[in-house]
Amino acid sequence: MLMPNNTAFEHAQATHDRMNGAQSLACLFMTSAMETIAAGKAICWEGDAAKHLFQVVEGVVRLHRIIGEGRRVITAFHFPGDLIGASLQSAFLFTAEAVSDCKIRRVSRKSFHDEIARSDALRPVYINLLCEETAAANNQMVLLSKLNAEERLCSFIVKLASRSDAKMQHGLLRVPMNRQDIADYLGLTIETVSRTITKLASRNIVVPEGRHDLRIVNLSRLVQLSGNGDDFSDKTCHSVSLH
């Protein structure tokens, strides 16, 4: 059976599921105090004991690892509702930093797992979350393995735009992270990200408005270019509507 790899659609689906998952697991964080993290500040550090899990309440968080000299890899961005550290065993495998000003809650790993063990309802939700995290990591592996700069960028923008909470008034997409963050997430340099956006703008597909907003002019083109490839272009792109 032929399966159009409609990344945008796939992702919308995954996002939806994750939201549900987070909704259910969210109750574990309800009693915790809200913490405010200023943009750029760290929430936890790679290598430290993972004594807590965090829930993003507001803002965007990046997870990254530093390898040798100055090489930084961003392995994920987390948005309101998402959990940080669900798939950890003992130590943090990443540093988490606020991309924008954030509000978060935390619970101890022990009490989190106790609650999961106690509740037959929560357990499948948690397992679901872990599976989705693996699936997301696998998708990113594909992106980093085989997509070129333009495909990576388009795929990234489509994914952002597919988020249900994306601010999409009149085709204007908020991009909270800066160019360097995007570059480190997509395995490119800041210059290549910049040039690729410029190229997309010249073809009137997306047009930057300020540093943190993108006007999505031609979404179907964007989906086509996002490397979910196949020749289904016209059929699939209509299934993603942002209005």
Partner DNA sequence: CGGGCGTTTGAAGCGCGTCAATACGGGTGG
Partner DNA sequence: CCACCCGTATTGACGCGCTTCAAACGCCCG
Of residues 30-89, those binding DNA (CB under 7 A) = none
Three-state secondary-structure class, residue 184: helix
- Distance CA(205)–CA(157), nearest Å, equals 11
Binding mask 133-172 for DNA (x = CB under 7 A): ---------------xxx----------------------
Q: Which does 166 bind (CB under 5 to 8 A by kind): a copy of itself, DNA, none?
A: none
Tell me what percent of the chain is helix, strand and coil, each rounded to the nearest 5.
45, 20, 35
Nearest distance, CB of residue 210 and DNA, angstroms: 4
- Distance CA(17)–CA(63), nearest Å, equals 21
Please give the helix or strand (H or E) that residue 173 lies within, else none: strand 172-174
Nearest distance, CB of residue 8 and a copy of itself, angstroms: 15
Nearest distance, CB of residue 106 and a copy of itself, angstroms: 19
Residue 190 lies near DNA (rule: CB under 7 A): yes
Q: Are 34 and 103 in contact (CB under 8 A)?
A: yes
Angle at 212 between CA 206 and CA 216, to 5 degrees: 20
- By CB under 8 A, name the binding residues for a copy of itself: 1, 3, 5, 46-48, 65, 67-69, 71, 73, 75, 87-89, 93-94, 117, 120, 123, 126-128, 130-135, 137-138, 140-142, 144-146, 184, 187, 227-230
